[in-house]
Structure 1
């Protein structure tokens, strides 16, 4: 892991590349409540342009459910891994492989809501993932984390706790952004391309590690502390400016064209 104080900005990918994008804190500024973010028409146009330029090799890799992503970015229905890869849409406008909420997670959500009893804490039930957002009540982050960690003992094996910048999540072990990126890299639109992944939080680190293994470019947005990403961008505005610069480059050739 590198310390993130003076990481360089990402270089321009050489040859055919693919693009994986976290959403909150990367493309959109965080809000106190996940429903409070707004997608601009410019961002929709930028994503449409990049996806066309990359011959479809663009996917969201997010902790949000894909239904929530579609609602945000409508009418776009881009390729996506939702719930950290527990949901997938492998083709644009295609069907979503969904994940359901187990009864013990539903019960735990109610228990934690009663325990914290604070209107500024948002408890988000995302199928098998339980997310507690404390951005509007930062003083409760430690308590929320402790409650979730204690709950691990009562749940069946196979769950882990992921603490973030402004909240904590409980999720199945197989929920990992790196695994989602690997899955996309195996489908024809992405195969043979160099992966580029932009993310901003601890949940993105696993994705950075996989992209580094694949000789890709991993970029931490607004970094602090240590990160596996060798590149950084200062914040959402810098990330959007970098992506806009990429969209203005000449269209890169497909892997088949490059191999000739």
Structure 2
């Protein structure tokens, strides 16, 4: 597998920038609430917003409400829940065909599975439920089998991520979020650049490439739709602050 080059310094010239959060702007942590947000992140986002004429958005698997508890208030656009929530910088939500939430009994079932196995963590989300196994990597196969079984019984989508498996209704992806943002006047006619680390970010890479832009993979080399790679969260910060 050939490695990818780092993104050139001029890649953001005239671009629209879409940034994943966990594993891209902040280091992954043992639990979702244990992340450390760099003190300088707010200033970095503000500089990028000014440089790009407002064409910047955070596109995360976290809900927008969750993102706001960790991020400073940089007045930029957000997409949460893997593309199911989209909000512009001014506060307006983009209209999407949102699926109904999961049956509450599904979250209870996932939580019971997690409680019976040390190291697993169930995380309820507005439109889904996630099962984290970062503290119990040996449970990866058991988690996948369990979540796939629940998905089959309830006609749900299984979303695999970095040491996490999520159940969500059929609906949008991060790529759909990119396409929705790019249809807005402030983003239109720019070249989309999507930066992310996880398997869920592949939809964003594909959407960016399809619109004449590129993806930037963060972390170890792997098969990907991205055109460039940065090795770490620290490398992302250095590149964004060049």
TM-score between both structures, scaled by the size of structure 2: 0.91
Tell me the residue number matched to 1:90. 88
- In the TM superposition, residue 160 of structure 1 has moved relative to its aligned partner by 1.6
Tell me the residue number matched to 1:219. 216
Task: Return the alpha-carbon distance in structure 1 between the equivalents of residues 95 and 80 of structure 2.
Answer: 10
Task: Give per-residue Cα distances to partners, 1:191-240, cap 9 Å, x unaligned.
Answer: 11111110001000011111111110210001332111111001101111
Which runs of structure 2 are paired with 1:238-253 in the superposition (5 Å)?
238-245=235-242
Aligned residues: 239
Contact 2:3/2:221 (8 A) holds in 1: no
Task: Return the alpha-carbon distance in structure 2 between the equivalents of residues 103 and 24 of structure 1.
Answer: 24
Task: Give per-residue Cα distances to partners, 1:70-96, cap 9 Å, x unaligned.
Answer: 111133342111001111112344458
Tell me the residue number matched to 1:192. 189
Task: Return the alpha-carbon distance in structure 2 between the equivalents of residues 230 and 189 of structure 1.
Answer: 25
Tell me the residue number matched to 2:146. 147
Tell me the residue number matched to 2:37. 39
Contact 2:102/2:169 (8 A) holds in 1: no
Tell me the residue number matched to 1:204. 201
Change (3 A) 1:160 1:14: closer
Taking only aligned residues, the RMSD between alpha carbons, in angstroms, comes to 2.0
Q: Secondary structure at the match of 1:84?
A: coil
Task: Return the alpha-carbon distance in structure 1 between the equivalents of residues 92 and 76 of structure 2.
Answer: 9
- In the TM superposition, residue 174 of structure 1 has moved relative to its aligned partner by 1.6
Matched, 1:13 2:11: yes
Which runs of structure 2 are paired with 1:1-260 in the superposition (5 Å)?
3=1, 5-11=2-8, 12-13=10-11, 15-94=13-92, 102-104=101-103, 106-116=104-114, 117-155=116-154, 157=155, 159-245=156-242
Task: Return the alpha-carbon distance in structure 2 between the equivalents of residues 38 and 79 of structure 1.
Answer: 21
Contact 1:10/1:217 (8 A) holds in 2: no
Contact 2:161/2:198 (8 A) holds in 1: yes
Task: Return the alpha-carbon distance in structure 2 between the equivalents of residues 125 and 175 of structure 1.
Answer: 18
Task: Return the alpha-carbon distance in structure 1 between the equivalents of residues 214 and 88 of structure 2.
Answer: 22
- In the TM superposition, residue 111 of structure 1 has moved relative to its aligned partner by 1.1
Change (3 A) 1:28 1:69: same
Between the two structures, name the one with larger relative contact order (CA 8 Å, sep ≥ 6). Answer: 1
Q: Secondary structure at the match of 1:30?
A: coil
- In the TM superposition, residue 103 of structure 1 has moved relative to its aligned partner by 4.9
Task: Return the alpha-carbon distance in structure 1 between the equivalents of residues 141 and 76 of structure 2.
Answer: 36
Q: Which runs of 5+ in 1 are unaligned?
A: 246-260
